[in-house]
Amino acid sequence: MILLDPMDLALAALLVVASAALAWALRLGISRSLLIAGARMVIQLLLVGLVLKAVFDRAELAWIALISGVMLIVAGYEATARQKRPMAGLWSMGVGVGAMFVSAFTVTVLSLTVILGPSPWYTPQYAIPLLGMLLGNTMTGVALSLDRLTQTLWERRGMVEARLMLGHPWSEAVTDIRRDCMRAGMIPTLNAMAAAGIVSLPGMMTGQILAGTPPVEAVKYQILIMCLIMGATTAGTALAVQLACQRLVDGRERLRLDRLRSP
Amino acid sequence: MTGNRQLDVADLRVDGLGPIDLCLAEGECLVLSGPSGAGKSRLLRAIADLDAHEGRVSCQGTAAEDLSPSQWRRRVGMLAADSQWWRDRVAEHFDTPPTSGRLEALDLAPALLEGPVSRLSSGERQRFALLRLLANRPRVLLLDEPTANLDPDNVIRVEKLIADYTATGGAAVLWVSHDPLQTARVAHRQLYLEAGKLSQKPAPRPMQDRPS
């Protein structure tokens, strides 16, 4: 395995700086966030390297639970941070965290206990990367579907309310919108699954191969992960859309866009 | 008394509006006017239970909260000022297609029903939206400027269809209109909404007293 020195990473970082420069030249208004995100990425990954080393040395359930909890909260925050009209108060993050907890955590625990079966089942070398990949992908699905949902309800409020005026039950009045939003959340994972191996060599598999694992073994792991990701993303997206829909309607089936924050 | 009362609104309050009290008798058409921004649409929306409100609203003696929201909105049907469509074809918006008599009454060609919504003019959309609402057989019609997009002939056709509907079924109408001539044609009674308060307006003179 070829070890990287800081100079190698600095060269790669120039690409991020160049992207920021281009974004600035094109007035995209995201140069600052791009640079901050790049800096965050470096610091977070360095820190997590240290944290993982400490956790792998100790392998205690309490520590692993704590780290998982932090990962979940951050995923919930990130999933809702860049939405145009998130739900007001803690609802947006709460829905994101709840949906991801049920989907990504369940799939992680099930795959650890039923499929992989390390001993103990929470062995951090397996649990943490697995949870990380599932949360990462579920986060994208939840973020896309919630953003789409709140945006579409805002833009199409007239249509939703016209259907309510005609006596359509709430669930019927939003059924098309709900479907579109779930689809929007699932498409990135679907694309990744369909293109895996041809268009893209998935990151985990590439990593394992770079680290010296035989390709066929790496591929088997990647297949497992892809299946888990698809399951978790579908469940997470469905749950997030359902919870958000319930929040944006009240007991008398009124559309409650006053529960959204304005941009 | 509730037997021949279609709509009772008591002490209705919705942000900045009210308290509003009004009642509509069987077959009655009440025209509501007032400056824009006075809350006419908000009042209709609150009666249709689309906005949170205080106070009591009932239809034929049954309070809104005793019915499911969709049952209530089928009995107390609201027609918004701009019509909304969510499927491609016009007919897909109807559970049961409108009768040829009704299509004819509003001068709508039956072929339009099978065509796409995008091919309808705004006036045709507005007239189809009225038929779509009437298909629920509402007991109370809440009409928010229902003829705003129509040419003069179609204004008269819509007025006549609504008058026929209320005369045969006993439904009551709460009609928001800015047009004094229309008000004179359709209103049995008028109310004026300004700064969140309702006030009386003199009743229109009966048809036969008017100079021709």
**Set of chain A residues whose Cβ sits within 8 Å of the Cβ of B72:** 167
Asked if residue A13 has pLDDT above 70, the reply is: yes
Residue B90: is it exposed, middle or buried by C-beta count within 10 angstroms (0-12/13-18/19+)? Answer: buried
pTM for this model (two decimals): 0.86
Best residue in B86, B93, B128 for a mutation probing chain A (most A CBs within 10 Å): B86
pLDDT of A191 > 80? The answer is yes
Using a CB–CB cutoff of 8 Å, tell me whether B84 touches chain A: yes
Strand-pair partners of B189: B30
Parallel/antiparallel/unpaired status of strands B140-144 and B76-79: parallel
pLDDT tens-digit map of B64-115: 999 999 999 999 999 998 999 999 999 999 988 999 999 999 999 999 999 9
Cα A97 to Cα A103: distance, rounded to the nearest angstrom: 10
- What CATH topology corresponds to B2-209? Rossmann fold (3.40.50)
Chain-chain contact of B69 with A164 (C-beta, under 8 angstroms): yes
CA distances to A145, A159, A221, B48, B58 from B52, rounded to whole Å, are 27, 19, 53, 10, 15
Query: Is the pLDDT confidence value at A244 over 70?
Result: yes
Assess whether pLDDT exceeds 80 at residue B4. no
Q: What's the pLDDT at A200?
A: 75
Across the range B36-64, mean pLDDT stands at 92
Contacts of residue A143, defined as CB under 8 A and 6 or more positions apart, other chains included, come to: A78, A79, A80, A82, A83, A96, A185
Structure tokens at A124: 């951090």
Name which of A170, A176, A254 is nearest B86 (Cβ-Cβ): A176
**Residue B2 in this model has a pLDDT that exceeds 70:** no
Confidence of residue B206 (pLDDT cuts 50, 70, 90): low
pLDDT at A1 over 80: no
What's the pLDDT score for residue A3?
Answer: 86
Sequence-distant (6+) residues with CB within 8 A of B183 are B31, B33, B177, B190, B204
Q: Encoding tokens for residue A182?
A: 């779930």
Contact A159 B85 (CB under 8 A): yes
Average pLDDT over residues A24-48: 92
Look over chain A and give the mean of its residue pLDDT values, rounded to a whole number.
92
- Who's near B11: CB < 8 A, 6+ residues apart? B18, B19, B20, B21, B54, B55, B56
Q: Which helix (H) or strand (E) element contains residue A189?
A: helix A175-195
Where residue A159 falls among pLDDT bands split at 50, 70, 90?
very high
Confidence grade of residue A111 (pLDDT, cut at 50, 70, 90): very high
Q: B100: distance to nearest CA of chain A, Å?
A: 21
pLDDT band at B212 (very low <50, low <70, confident <90, very high): very low
Per-residue pLDDT for A83 more than 90? Answer: no
HSE-up of residue A118 (Cα within 13 Å, Cβ side) = 15
* Contact: B73, A161; criterion CB under 8 Å: no
CA distance B180 to chain A (A): 27
**CB contacts, 8 Å: A158 with chain B:** 80, 82, 84
List of chain A residues whose C-beta atoms are within 8 Å of the C-beta of residue B80 = 158, 161-162, 165
Distance from CA of B85 to the nearest CA of A (A): 7
| Chain B neighbors of A250, CB-CB under 8 A | 52
